[in-house]
Amino acid sequence: MSEARIEVDGLRKRFGQTLALDGLSFTVAPGTVTGFVGPNGAGKSTTMRVILGLDSIEEGTALIGGRPYARLTHPMRHVGSLLDASALQPSRSGRNHLLWIAHSQRLPVSRVDEVAELVGLGKAARRKAGGYSLGMRQRLGIAAAMLGDPPILIMDEPFNGMDPEGIIWMRGFLRGLAAEGRAVLVSSHLLGELPDVADHVVVIGRGRVLADATIEELTAGASSLEDAYLRLTSGAVEYRSGTDGEQRR
């Protein structure tokens, strides 16, 4: 899987007056889970949308195995993505949601049932997706991301809304993907989940990379990953509650 690499280089993007991405660069290597963290509004979701060709950029490149996403034929065979688990039509069944995506990537219908099985959707696959809990929607979204058996996966907050059992399942699942040689980029605000899952962490704030290191490197000299994170991002938060208010500027 030599093409299983995301290369983001010098991304710059503005929303009106705000500089959302300010020269962002990092790489997601094959066989690793890369955690993507930062305060709200730091640009995590925007970066993911840029990588997937959904949002435009003013400068920089975001490449999938050397090519922009929008140039890929059957892109979901190269990159599986889950940006927002609730992004579905509520009156369509989970299985039919997977079916139209399978058709768009010219994948056999048998693949739909395989991935529904893989994420443990079970009989719920035949029910309307509008009735799913957030945890179930996350599973459906991961099934969609896995349809094309892609070497690269991009997931925005996949732990959101999952019950403890789901979180444990998700951890093992993500580690398994990396063990198979895939490149996995996972954003999360649940820092406690990261040491168990990620090999590598990219911390961003105000559209810039604040740290790009292994978990061990980050936590060296700090009492915990949380502690290291708070120190890194102290200058880059829009708002922090309580006594830390003075640190805002």
**Residue ranges that bind other proteins, judged by CB under 8 A:** 49, 52-56, 69-70, 72, 74-76, 81, 83-84, 86-93, 96, 99-101, 103-106, 144
| CB-CB contact of 38 with 63 (8 Å) | no
13 strand-pairing partners: 21
Give the integer Cα–Cα distance in Å for 11 and 104: 29
Cβ 13 to other proteins, closest distance in Å? 9
Nearest to 7 by CA among 70, 61, 85, 84: 61
Q: Which CB contacts under 8 angstroms, 24+ apart, belong to 66-71?
A: 66/3, 66/7
Least gap, CB of 215 to other proteins (angstroms):
29
HSE-CB at 72 with a 13 A cutoff on CA atoms is: 23
Amino acid at 45: S
Q: Which is nearer to other proteins, 140 or 211 (CB)?
A: 140
Closest to other proteins by CB, 87 vs 220, is 87
CB of 167 to other proteins, least distance (A): 24
**Residue 6 CB partners (closer than 8 Å, separation 6+):** 27, 28, 51, 62, 63, 64, 152, 154, 183, 185
* Of residues 103 and 248, the one with the C-beta less far from other proteins: 103
* Least distance to other proteins, CB of residue 218, Å: 31
Least separation in angstroms between CB 101 and other proteins:
5
Q: Which is nearer to other proteins, 153 or 225 (CB)?
A: 153
Type and span of the H or E element at 212 = strand 208-214
The minimum distance between CB 209 and other proteins, in angstroms, equals 22
Which is nearer to other proteins, 44 or 49 (by Cβ)?
Answer: 49
Nearer to other proteins, 49 or 200 (CB): 49
DSSP structure string for 167-200: HHHHHHHHHHHHHTT-EEEEE-S-GGGHHHH-SE
